[in-house]
Each structure stands twice: as structure tokens, then as C-alpha cells.
Amino acid sequence: MKFLRNYDIDVIRLREGTHEFSFDVNDEFFSQFEDNNLVTHGNLIVKVVLNKDINLIEALFEIDGAVEQVCDRSLETFDYPLHAAEKVLFKYGAEEQEINEDIFIITRDTPKLKLAQLIYEFILLALPAKKIHPDYIAEMYDEDCDDEGKLVYVSDEVGNE
């Protein structure tokens, strides 16, 4: 887990104001997570803008790049372009805790923000539920459209009239 220290930001020394950081996310990053079965290969840039205030630190994450995915239809691998933007607040309090997925309480003497897990989760959240190879996207829409090109929704429910 020593590698993941590269994704820490030493906040105790930061002055109030805006600070920008950039992190490379690649195969070595993904290999650090034991439960990783959704992404093993990728090449992304994560830009983090921290706005340190007297009572909190606002962190804005912008993630851009591509991750390798397996098509649900053909089982072919393809590079999925991934773009995500997330915001997290780190508020100062008596003890460290997670309020929800967007708000964390840290103490005033917290030395570092450990961002690796957050970055990993943001990447996973940006993945589509249905992964379709770009070569099959047009075919998929053709199957789901009527003669005029409008999407047709078919319900699995029977007899609910």
C-alpha cells in the first residue's frame, strides 16, 4: 500500500486558498485494490482542486481518460472513455468520521488527505451499468428502435393492465 501514498495530499502545511494537484492513474494504481474486478487496465489523469478555508476543505475532482472494459454482448475488450467530476467536503471537527459519501469530518491536525480510495470509487461510479463495445452500439439501438428510429421500451411484466 506504499504506492497509494502517491495519492495523498499534505494538507496540514497548505495555506488557505486554492491549490491544484494532478495524479496519474494507471494499471499499477488499479492493482493496489484487492476487490478490483471491474477495472484492471486504464490510463487516466485526475485533477484535484482544493479550496482550503478556515472551517473546511472543498475538493473538486476531474477525472479524464480511458479504462479497459469487457463488452457485455461480445466479451471483446475495448477502451471506455471516462469523464467524471465529483466534489467532496472535508469539514473540521473533534474526531475523524464519514458523514456521507460527500462529507468527511477531519481534525485540524490531520496531516494528509488520502485520496486513492476516493479516486478509485469515483472511477467505478463513472462506469456504465451496461458495457457495450463501440462497434455494437449502433446495432443495439437498431434493435431497440421502431421504424421511425424512436426507442421502444418493452416491459418484462405480463398481465398488468
Structural domain contains residue 67: yes
Tens of pLDDT along 34-59? Answer: 876 789 899 999 999 999 999 999 99
**Residue 138 within a domain:** no
pLDDT at residue 143, as a whole number: 55
Q: What domain count does the chain have?
A: 1
- Inside any domain, residue 151: no
Whether residue 144 lies inside any domain: the answer is: no
74 is a domain residue: yes
Range of the domain at 93: 2-129
pTM above 0.85, yes or no: no
H-helix segments, the chain: 27-30, 116-125, 134-143
